[in-house]
Amino acid sequence: MKIAILGGTGRIGEGLATRWATRHNIYIGSRDVEKAKNAACGYSCRLTDQGFECQIDGTSNKEAVEKADVAVLSVPFEAALDLIECLRPVLKNQILISLVVPMKKENGSFEYTPPEEGCAALRIQHLLPGVKVVSAYHNLSYRKLCKIDLDIDADVAICSDNEDAKQVVMDLTREIRNVRPLDGGPLKEARMIESLTPFLINMAKRNGLSDLGVKFV
């Protein structure tokens, strides 16, 4: 499968890229093509050093999406809206995985700030009616993802209004060691998962923890 990671030079982008690169063609997208190429090269080297074969290329966000079956949107909310506008001509019937969480920091803690549609995933689906938007991976630890031999031991709730797209993302999720995909329901339920992100960040800070994910037990 061909997977574009938009915002692929960021931390969670690196984590997902390195987890999937041994089985899929990964296109790291960035506004800055040089940065994307450098990141792709860095991830490849790291995997090759560990004895894995992989295919990771760096390119523009636009070219990454044009080539992809699945695109991962891993950028902040406002940037995501701008990026979607730029990519509209090439975003057709791909699966678009939203990791986007609208939130702001106030008085030292984070607060979820959903758009009027109810959550970022619904806003994105509204802007791109033909695209199969799936919500997933907001609460995976990039540090754990980046240690590619590590059993992550977390659950991912996956939401979409397109059942086929949801199944594709559930299958991709099973490829990440010891991460269990769960059907999170229609896209409107993504609000729950998005809003968990600031809550987890705040709770980690309050309790002297870090990199909190979720398991449903």
Q: Does residue 174 bind a copy of itself (CB under 8 A)?
A: no
Give residue for tokens 């037990």: 217
List the one residue from 50, 151, 203, 210 that touches a copy of itself (CB under 8 A). Answer: 203
CA–CA dist 78, 158 (Å, integer): 22
CA–CA dist 63, 90 (Å, integer): 9
Q: Does residue 202 bind a copy of itself (CB under 8 A)?
A: yes
Residue 6 backbone phi and psi in degrees, to 5: -90, 125
Q: Does residue 216 bind a copy of itself (CB under 8 A)?
A: yes
Q: What is the DSSP letter of 99?
A: -
Residue (129 or 206) nearer to a copy of itself, CB: 206
| # residues contacting a copy of itself (CB under 8 A) | 25
Indicate the SS3 state at residue 169: helix
The set of residues, in sequence order, having a beta carbon less than 8 Å from that of 214 and lying 6+ positions away, is 139, 154, 155, 196, 200
Show the tokens assigned to 102: 């609208």
Residue (45 or 203) nearer to a copy of itself, CB: 203
CB of 183 to a copy of itself, least distance (A): 5
Please return the burial class of 22, using the count of CB atoms within 10 Å of its CB with bins 0-12, 13-18 and 19+.
middle
Q: Does residue 164 bind a copy of itself (CB under 8 A)?
A: no
Interacting span for a copy of itself (CB under 8 A) from 4-12, 34-42, 48-56, 183-191: 183-191
CB of 193 to a copy of itself, least distance (A): 8
Chain residues binding a copy of itself by CB under 8 A are: 109, 153-154, 157, 182-185, 189, 192, 195-196, 199-200, 202-203, 206-207, 209, 212-217
